[in-house]
Amino acid sequence: MGANHIGPHAAERDMPHSYGRELMNHQIRAIMVSHNASIFTELAVRSLLANHNPPLKMALSLVDNASLDDTGALQAFLQQRSIPFLQSGFDTRSKYNSHGEILQKFVGENADCDYYLFLDHDVCFFHENVIHRLMSDLNKAGEDVFGINPGWADWYGNAYTRKHRPEDSIRRLHPFCALVKNTQLFRRVVAQFGFGQFDYEYANSV
């Protein structure tokens, strides 16, 4: 898969602590956040690129959260495909959810797209054109629906349904693999509230 389909210009890879880049408009701005999981991160990116034909019109950024494992092979793979490997600026001593703050900053710096794609580093694509199908379903859903997840399954292959995980399937759009429409309202909500856990009292009680 050609590098020109997925990443920024080579000169932009060295920008420190910034997830925004001066690029032409992309249909999708994608971000994957990683920490101490370079092998799984590479597998996630490879599976994303290999299972989408035609290639996604996407600019992908890999944001590392102060990993201590060997990222050499991962960085070499990303460089071959002109995908930036950026440091988040956070470390493991962050009090709350630095992942959410990374996504908040990414949205704030990247308004030149039609969709945002949020990915965890442990997601793996086995089926073809998942993101293409998510985009189609999202557009068919109407203006009241702002984002979409693919189906979930547990370690044993059992699909999550409303019966099994009502808190996920009804109230939560999980950024493990979430395609979201880029609207002014979405960016405003992200700027004001972010992606983190709002109710810390509830979070600390469970």
Give the integer Cα–Cα distance in Å for 132 and 170. 23
Give the integer Cα–Cα distance in Å for 104 and 102. 5
Radius of gyration of the CA atoms of the chain, in A: 17
**Residue 156 pLDDT:** 54
**Residue 154 pLDDT:** 55
**Residue 153 pLDDT:** 58
**Residue 157 pLDDT:** 53
**Residue 34 pLDDT:** 93
CB count within 10 Å of CB 183 equals 12
Listed as ranges, residues in the chain with pLDDT below 50 are 1-25, 160-169, 198-206
**Long-range contacts at 19-24 (CB < 8 A, ≥ 24 apart):** 19/61, 19/63, 19/86, 19/102, 19/105, 19/106, 19/109, 19/110, 20/106, 20/108, 20/109, 20/110, 21/59, 21/84, 21/110, 23/59, 23/112, 24/112
Extract the tokens encoding 115. 């969709």
